[in-house]
Amino acid sequence: MSSLKTCFRYGLVIGCAVAVACPVLGQTPTDPSPPAIPDPAFIDQENLAQAEPFDLRQVRILDGICKTNEDLDEKYLLSLDPDRLLHNFRVNAGIPSTAQPLGGWEDPKCGLRGHFVGHYLSACAEMYAATGDQQLLARGTYVVTELGKCQDALGSGYLSAFPTTAFDTLETKYGGVWAPYYTIHKIMAGLLDQYHYCGNRQALEIAIKMADYFRGRMAKLTPDQIDKVLHTVGRGPQNEYGGMSEVLHNIYAITKKPEYLEFADVFDRSWVLNPLAMSQDHLDGLHANTHIPQVIGFARHYELTGDPRYQRAADYFWTQVTEHHSYVTGSNSKAEHFLAPDVEANALGADTGETCNVYNMLKLTQHIFAWKADAASADYYELALYNHILGSIDPDTGMTTYFMSLKPGHFKIYGTPDTSFWCCNGTGIENHAKYGAAIYYHHADTLWVNLFIPSQLTWAEKGLSVTQDTTFPESDETTLTITASHPTPLKVLLRVPYWETKGALLKINGQSQAVDATPGSYVTLDRTWQTGDKIEFTLPMTLHLHRAADNPNMVAIMYGPLVLAGDLGRDGVPANDNVSKNNAFFKIPDPPVPGLSGDSTDLDSWIKPVTGQPLTFTTLNAGHPDDVQLKPFYAIHHQRYSVYWQFSDSTRTTSTP
């Protein structure tokens, strides 16, 4: 299990400061939401940022596949009973509760109880920011108020759904408890999100009291004890501590009090940092989602102090994970752990691709993009968003996946409304509230368009809004329409993805323009924009092969940014795949999966589009023993599938590399 959240909206930079200085951002004139809090002032390091994200409040998702998922998620958030969520906190604080306890990882006996409540605070805040729905504001406010009562009743600043004895055990036995700091991080991060997006100052006060409590607690330990408490080496670390570094860095960014920076860095362990800063890949065997949040902490440290060692470590880690530890979908890990670099085909299993890890890699990618403004990191964001996140929610129930199996012939499984509460259900409720987080970026007089998601951007500082109309990826076209309060000089940078090998097409106000950009770069439109200006951008998609790093005869088939999966029917798939145990079906036998053969230099000759069904293809005399129908992996649910195929390349004289 594991995970974490919070982009660097508390951080780096002017971008965030500018964003929240504008009271109308993302709000309609009738939106009665409180003015945004003047954002955490930051250390003055704006020169570190090449591009700043827009605040979630500035971007509305319009109708399409992302909006459908956002709606499913919002419905689930509103279906949860906050008193049931609060039950364990109240019991732990000696406050009477008659609510029916939840199950799964929120069960009153589960060591991780309370973690989901932190995610719930985050998700309600993010969904409120993304949609303006007042019900979510009210939910978050209620839970924060009640958690404040629990903290007051406990009296020390401590706040959790389990007693402090969990930390006594951790500090003396260095194990024997699940992951208490992991859970504390979720709650603190949720509180900061309530502060940031909902203007809830009490939430910030509660989080600071928690930081003070744990700072005092850690101060009583010797360096040796701290080292053992935070020793996350090996398989299944009992002391996985999530994004404690990140959330404490964010408290430092808000308060500017150096003690929080100092405390944050207690969680930045040199044995993790130093090899990465020296470009040494020591990830083999490490628990993936324990360490991705640690590296997000390094990213925040760099942003708040300018220390380049932390940037080098974060940048190197990101590159290694995305290029040498990831599957074709952008996910990583086998049984939650990193393997040696470039192990891919040999790792495929029902327990590949933990959803929390993708959540955290996307968050790290937001930092990387802000530092570099490079198309490569935006390409990865698109890959992982479309091929993991988008397909990680059951379209029928709104429940989310833990692993997204890449085992040929297996299927996805999802949690339940109130008996699973896995780590990935926690990050899951946040994933689908954040589609607006990385579509657009800005810096001075530059606007980046990184993702082709139907959306409306309100850039109040510029008196500008941009509406993106598209059915991408079902269509390969997107249209951006500008509304400007006055003629506005602006460079608009459109991402030309790495997969765009056929040549992007561009029109401005109906006039064709030359596209002077190679795949994996940007086309720059530098002009003065006015209301009604239209940019039409077409990105023709082609079929292409991904070969596994450790076996070129194991391939995945892609179309544009999309990983295609083969529909292998429903035989043996349980009637109900929304279950309490994430490993419930690991041992169900899977049928043999067809192999494929064809000309790798001419995929169009053996993979044919199915008429009338967008993004659907069938192999033609290429499947052995049978041909297969291929669909976007994100659209595959409640059925067996394969993403990877044994492949015999008819253009090769030998099938070995």
- Nearer Cβ to Zn ion, position 65 or 356? 356
Give 160 or 355: the residue with its C-beta nearer to Zn ion.
Answer: 355
DSSP state of 309: H
Give least dist CB 287 to Zn ion, A: 11
Considering only residues 319 through 358, tell me which ones interact with Zn ion, judged by CB under 5 A: 354, 356
Phi-psi sector, 407: left (phi>0), alpha (psi -120 to 50), beta: beta
Q: How far is the CB of 118 from Zn ion (least distance, A)?
A: 14
Q: Residues 58 to 77: which contact Zn ion by CB under 5 A?
A: none
Per rule CB under 5 A, count of chain residues that contact Zn ion: 4
**SS3 label, residue 125:** helix
* Range 411-430, binding Zn ion (CB under 5 A): 423-424
Quick one: 356 or 439, whose CB is closer to Zn ion? 356
Contacts with Zn ion, 223-262, as mask; x by CB under 5 A: ----------------------------------------
Q: What one-character DSSP code corresponds to residue 452?
A: -
329 vs 456, beta carbon nearer Zn ion: 329
| Amino acid letter, 196 | H
Handedness of CA 430, 433, 438, 444 (dihedral sign): negative
CB of 422 to Zn ion, least distance (A): 6
Shortest distance in whole angstroms from residue 403 CB to Zn ion: 8
Q: Report the residue number, 303 or 418, with the smaller CB distance to Zn ion.
A: 418
Q: Which pair of structure tokens corresponds to residue 634?
A: 């994100």
CB of 584 to Zn ion, least distance (A): 16
Nearer to Zn ion, 373 or 424 (CB): 424
Give the nearer residue to Zn ion in terms of CB position, either 356 or 543. Answer: 356
Cα(377)–Cα(365) distance, integer angstroms: 6
Place of tokens 């349980």: 574
How near is the Cβ of 232 to Zn ion at its closest, in Å? 15
Pairs from 272-281 (Cβ < 8 Å, separation ≥ 24): 272/232, 273/298, 273/309, 273/310, 273/313, 274/313, 276/312, 276/313, 276/314, 276/316, 276/317, 277/309, 277/310, 277/312, 277/313, 277/316, 279/312, 279/316, 281/320, 281/324, 281/341
Edge-to-edge strand order for the sheet containing 488-496? 52-53, 440-443, 446-449, 488-496, 521-529
State yes or no: residue 189 binds Zn ion (CB under 5 A).
no
* Complex with Zn ion: residue 39 or 430, whichever CB lies closer: 430
The answer to whether residues 92 and 124 touch, using CB atoms and an 8 Å cutoff, is no
Shortest spacing between CB 179 and Zn ion, in angstroms: 11
User: What is the three-class DSSP state of 54?
Assistant: coil
The site string for Zn ion over 429-448 (x = CB under 5 A, - otherwise) reads --------------------
- C-beta of 428: minimal distance to Zn ion in Å? 8
User: Which tokens go with 589?
Assistant: 């036998």
Identify the residue whose tokens are 């890890």.
357
Q: Structure tokens of 350?
A: 């029902």
Give residues 351-390 in contact with Zn ion (rule: CB under 5 A).
354, 356
Q: How far is the CB of 5 from Zn ion (least distance, A)?
A: 12
Q: What is the β-pairing status of strands 641-642 and 562-567? A: antiparallel
Q: In this complex, which beta carbon is closest to Zn ion, that of residue 332 or of residue 478?
A: 332
Residues that bind Zn ion (CB under 5 A): 354, 356, 423-424
